[in-house]
Amino acid sequence: MIVQTPVYFDRTEEFVSSDSVTLDTLQSVVAYRYIARYAPELSAPFVEADFAFRRKTLSGQKTQRPRWKGCVNRVTNAFPGLVGKYYAFMRSDDAKIRLAQEMVTQIQDSFREDLKRLNWLDEPTREAALDKLGSVTKHIGHSTLEETFPFQLRSDASFVENLQVVSNYELDRDIARIGNSINRDEWVTTGAVVNAFYVPRANRIVLPDGILQSPFFAQDRHFVRNFGSIGSIIGHELTHGFDSSGRHYAGDGNLRDWWSNVTSNEFLKRSEGLVTQYNSYEVLSQTGSGKRLGYTNGKITLRENIADNGGVKIAFAAYQKYTTDQETQDDSSSMSQAERNLSVNVADKLFFISFAQSFCSKRSDASIINGLASNAHTIEQWRVNGVASNSHEFANVFSCPADSALNPKIKHQLW
């Protein structure tokens, strides 16, 4: 059993033991947690109360999403494999999957070369890191496993009652798996999701069909745009295997320390540099008021910042190698003539522009404030600029003046 946040139990015990916490309060907390789980699927008063607190107050969302979106979300959560197969039938194809697989291999190769060059790794740790990288498995597209559903949904039952049937089945299934070997072919998500993942306990990256679309990926555009967007994401997920948490897992997915003391200490020292850097970014309101809402938190975002910086670095190196190995134009007849004729310098710039475009966003003040306190990812503006300021390649491509905001003298990088 892996308990990722043991402090939660310590604080829960303190809360329950406090003289200021009455039995009525505890009962209210338990009742709220149970009701909140199903509130979006209950009658209008529950839906409206849930939206007012969790969406409007905490995130600044102004209007409720259409009910059909909630239904799609619930069905996807209940039957991820089936929905993934249907999405793939409608939107995916073998050529797209093959291109994505090729990019994963290219970026994995780029990471391998990076590990060979890093001078802060001693040889035993380097060999272990290379072994782990070589052991990474990939889930690309969607699950092809056959599924069975040993339960029955009833048309005369309420929507929530049917959701509880599914939830109870999943709980019983998970309990029955305790003590058994892991099915490493099983997907952790549906193929119909716009996201990507790294699973440390399986040493696997997951690239679902849902993210293999614009603006992240397309077959009919200059390859540099794919390297800048989905390539950086692939690099990000691979780097998660070597971040402040993923580094504690070995190539077989088991918790095992494969670091020498010297290299581990160097990792921690370099990590502190990233923490300090990402503690310094001021975050302003996006409403145009210029109001300061706080600062980014380099500690709670460390894992993602390590992955962001490493991902862009190895994706850019993979793009450069691909450019050297191939003609600097895509074979697709759908590509515009303007993209075919890109100069190397313009293409290099387009890599970073494509990376940045993936993070275009607009947030309410409430969403920003909540994210600064709890989100493991740095807010989008500083995810992009933080990576750019650590990149020698970015500074060279855009001719950034020395010691400028995006080309500081000290650059923080692990991988």
| 3-state SS, one letter per residue, for 265-301 | HHHHHHHHHHHHHHHCCEEECCCCCCCEEEECCCCCC
**The predicted structure's pLDDT at residue 344:** 79
Set 41, 209, 237, 330: catalytic member: 237
Q: Half-sphere exposure of residue 360, counting CA atoms within 13 Å on the CB side?
A: 7
What amino acid occupies position 391?
S
- Residue type present at position 107: I
Q: How far apart are alpha carbons 152 and 250 in whole angstroms?
A: 40
Asked whether 383 and 310 are in contact (CB, 8 A), the reply is no
Residue 268 lies in a domain: yes
Active site residue 237: yes
310 Cβ contact partners less than 8 Å away, ≥ 6 residues apart? 111, 235, 236, 238, 239, 242, 413, 414, 415
Instruction: Tell me if 407 is assigned to some domain.
Output: no
| 116 plus 31 within the same structural domain | no
Burial label for 308, CB within 10 Å (0-12, 13-18, 19+), is buried
Q: What is the DSSP secondary-structure string of 42-88?
A: S-HHHHHHHIIIIIIIHH---SPPPHHHHHHHHHHHHSHHHHHHHHH
The SS3 call for residue 38 is: helix
Residue 89: per-residue pLDDT: 92
Encode pLDDT of 339-377 as tens digits: 566 777 889 999 999 999 999 999 999 889 989 999 999
| Lowest-confidence segment of 4-8, 32-36, 358-362 by average pLDDT | 4-8
135 pLDDT exceeds 90?
A: yes
Give the model's confidence band at 245: pLDDT under 50 very low, under 70 low, under 90 confident, else very high.
very high
Regarding whether 141 and 109 lie in a shared domain, the answer is: yes
Mark whether 24 is an active-site residue: no
Which residues 6+ apart lie within 8 Å of 365 measured at CB?
60, 285, 286, 287, 291, 293
Domain count, the chain: 3
User: Counting every residue, how long is the chain?
Assistant: 415
Instruction: List strands edge to edge, sheet with 204-208.
Output: 137-141, 204-208, 197-199
Burial category of 389 from C-beta neighbours within 10 Å (exposed 0-12, middle 13-18, buried 19 and up): buried
Contact 225, 336 (CB under 8 A): no
Co-location of 56 and 130 in the same domain: no
The token duo for 196 is 């990507």
Counting residues of the chain whose pLDDT is more than 70, the rounded percentage is: 96
Please compute the mean of the pLDDT values over residues 118-135 and round it to a whole number. 96
Asked if residue 279 belongs to a domain, the reply is yes
**One domain for residues 213 and 355:** yes
For residues 101 and 41, state if they share a domain.
no
* pLDDT at residue 285 in the model: 94
- Residue 250, pLDDT score: 95
In a domain, 60, yes or no: yes
What CATH number does the domain containing 318 carry?
3.40.390.10
Q: How many CB atoms neighbour CB 265 within 10 A? A: 11
412: pLDDT strictly greater than 70: yes
Question: Each residue of 305-319: pLDDT tens digit?
Answer: 999 999 999 999 999
> How far, CA to CA in Å, does 102 sit from each of 197, 212, 318, 403?
18, 13, 11, 38
Within a domain: 86? no
Are 55 and 160 found together in one domain? no
Q: Whole-number mean pLDDT of the chain?
A: 91
> Residues 252-257: what's their mean pLDDT?
92
Give the pLDDT band (50/70/90) at residue 175.
very high
Q: What is the pLDDT of residue 327?
A: 62
The phi and psi torsions of 335 (rounded to 5 degrees) equal -70, 140
**Do 285 and 360 reside in the same domain of the chain?**
yes
Q: Do residues 235 and 305 both lie within one domain?
A: yes
Q: Is the dihedral of CA 216, 218, 222, 224 positive or negative?
A: positive
- CB of 232 closer than 8 Å to CB of 306: no
Q: Which residue range(s) make up the domain with 168?
A: 153-184
Q: Does 127 share its domain with 14?
A: no
**pLDDT tens column, 91-114:** 988 999 999 999 999 999 999 999
Contact 400, 406 (CB under 8 A): yes
The answer to the question of residue 406 being in a domain is no
Confidence band (pLDDT; 50, 70, 90) for 179?
confident
3-state secondary structure of 256: coil
Residues 351, 224 contacting (CB under 8 angstroms): yes
What is the average pLDDT across 56-82? 88
Residues 289 and 174 in one domain: no
- Whether residue 83 lies inside any domain: the answer is no
Q: pLDDT at position 288, please?
A: 87
pLDDT tens string 400-411: 999 999 999 999
Asked whether residue 157 falls in the same domain as residue 198, the answer is no
| Per-residue pLDDT reduced to its tens digit, 137-169 | 999 999 988 888 889 999 999 988 999 999 999
177 and 250 part of one domain: no
Element (H, E) at 204: strand 204-208
Angstrom distance (rounded) from CA 213 to CA 44 = 36
- Which among 114, 209, 308, 348 is annotated as catalytic? 308
> Does 404 fall in a domain?
no
18 pLDDT more than 60: yes
